Amino acid sequence: MAATSNSLLSLTPSQSLNRPTTLFHSPTSVSLSPRSRLLLSKSNLVASSSSPNGADNPSAQDIPIEKRFPAFPTVMDINVIREILPHRFPFLLVDRVIEYNPGVSAVAIKNVTINDNFFPGHFPERPIMPGVLMVEAMAQVGGLVMLQPEVGGSRENFFFAGIDKVRFRKPVIAGDTLVMRMTLVKLQKRFGIAKMEGKAYVGGEVVCEGEFLMATGSD
């Protein structure tokens, strides 16, 4: 093992990234999936850029990684969300509102964790958030816009009236933070119907998008 470790340390970063990625070069080594190799490669690049040899940015070296990324702001916490939306466990899929423009749009997050109740069945060997639940989460963010006084809402129930042009771009897995933006495009107050556009992101990349037709009502 000592000889193996020394040979690995002697590789340049580019050579080490081009090698097949395994955990411990031994008879019991575990091969990583392509996604895991990509994530590990990125983490290696970050580590090498902040190493003592790369002293181009000394200020970044002094900041621990857990302090480099600010938290999402809180415009509405879960208690306020629960006062507006009628949903409850296990179907309340919005954790925090991070931006709200009255009568126009809302941006909210859903922290996707392995403890979410849908993962044991979707799928046991590869936990992926169901696409229909991403759409449901986005619709709930739309409800936070619709059920506000600025658009004539009065804490009534709201329903899907239609959904169109939905596309799923990338899988969402446990550990991701789903960031959802819902924008009001057209509102017919007389009939309580609104057309909204929605996009959901993970790490700044679109994972889901579509057009939503929603209606308010007490029945």
For the segment 116-132, what is each residue's pLDDT rounded down to a tens digit?
999 999 999 999 999 99
Report the C-alpha gap between 13 and 44 in whole angstroms.
8
Report the C-alpha gap between 29 and 174 in whole angstroms.
24
Q: pTM here?
A: 0.71
The mean pLDDT value for 27-42 works out to 50
Greater confidence (153 vs 158) lies with 158
Tell me whether residue 129 is exposed, middle or buried, using C-beta atoms within 10 angstroms of its C-beta: 0 to 12, 13 to 18, 19 or more: buried
Does pLDDT of 140 surpass 90?
A: yes
Does pLDDT of 204 surpass 90?
A: yes
Residue entry with tokens 């929603």:
214
Instruction: Name the pLDDT band for 35 (thresholds 50, 70, 90).
Output: low
Does pLDDT of 85 surpass 70?
A: yes
Q: Both tokens of residue 61? A: 């070296």
The mean pLDDT value for 153-165 works out to 77
Per-domain residue ranges of the chain: 65-216
- Lowest-confidence region among 35-39, 107-111, 138-142, 174-178: 35-39
The CATH superfamily holding the domain 65-216 is Hotdog Thioesterase (3.10.129.10)
Greater confidence (35 vs 16) lies with 35
User: Which amino acid appears at position 101 of this protein?
Assistant: N
> What is the structure's pLDDT at 191?
83
CA atoms within 13 A on the CB side of 77: 1
Strand-pair partners of 157: 217
Q: Supply the DSSP symbol for 76.
A: B
The mean pLDDT value for 134-159 works out to 81
The mean pLDDT value for 129-150 works out to 91
Catalytically annotated residues = 122
Instruction: Name the pLDDT band for 200 (thresholds 50, 70, 90).
Output: very high
The mean pLDDT value for 79-84 works out to 94
Does pLDDT of 14 surpass 70?
A: no
Report the C-alpha gap between 28 and 177 in whole angstroms.
33
